[in-house]
């Protein structure tokens, strides 16, 4: 795998750090909610604590992937696919919670994550690098 200056590296690093922080906090709060029902007493029951835990772990994992693979162009398609999944989860949550400015702002991080990965995929394709060339070499 080659380490090259990837054009979407800055987007992926920033969104990766934010995903790690927010995913870790969400998972931690969800764990508190699983063990103490009074912790979630004043919160709207749109998302149960187990769902918040799963989504927090998901955000934490894709943040680690973003930081680890931001400059490895061969992994840009993986990051793009993770960004598509994250963006679709965020849009589904937007429809569940309703359209407000705060909820629309929550789409910004997955959108920037996808944008950074998409820039890397385009750069990778324009360089003429083919994923499958190693499969056909003897």
Going by pLDDT thresholds of 50, 70 and 90, the confidence category of residue 106 is confident
Do residues 68 and 19 touch, judged by C-beta distance below 8 A? no
Q: Which residue has the tokens 């324009």?
A: 126
> For residue 49, with 0-12 CB atoms within 10 Å meaning exposed, 13-18 middle and 19 or more buried, which class applies?
buried
The region of weakest confidence among 9-23, 32-46, 50-64, 82-96 is 32-46
pLDDT (0 to 100) of residue 135: 42
pLDDT (0 to 100) of residue 125: 82
The string of DSSP letters for 83-114 reads: HHHHHHHHHHHHHHH---HHHHHTTHHHHHHH
128: Cα within 13 Å, side-chain hemisphere: 0
Going by pLDDT thresholds of 50, 70 and 90, the confidence category of residue 134 is very low
pTM, two decimals, is 0.79
The string of DSSP letters for 117-129 reads: HHHHHHHHHHTT-
Instruction: Output the average pLDDT for the chain.
Output: 82
Q: What is the pLDDT of residues 41-89, one digit of tens each?
A: 666 555 677 888 898 999 999 999 999 999 888 888 999 999 999 999 8
């Amino acid at each position: 795998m080659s380490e090259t200056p990837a054009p979407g590296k800055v987007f992926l690093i920033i969104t990766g750090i934010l995903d790690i922080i927010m995913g870790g906090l969400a998972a931690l709060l969800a764990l508190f909610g699983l063990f103490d029902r009074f912790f979630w007493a004043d919160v709207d029951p749109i998302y149960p604590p187990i769902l918040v835990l799963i989504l927090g772990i998901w955000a934490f994992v894709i943040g680690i992937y973003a930081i680890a693979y931001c400059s490895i162009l061969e992994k840009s398609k993986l990051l793009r696919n993770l960004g598509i999944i994250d963006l679709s989860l965020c849009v589904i949550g937007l429809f569940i919670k309703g359209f407000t400015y705060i909820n629309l702002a929550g789409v910004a991080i997955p959108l920037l994550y996808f944008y950074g990965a998409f820039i890397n995929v385009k750069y990778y394709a324009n360089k003429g690098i083919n994923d499958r060339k190693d499969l056909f070499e003897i």
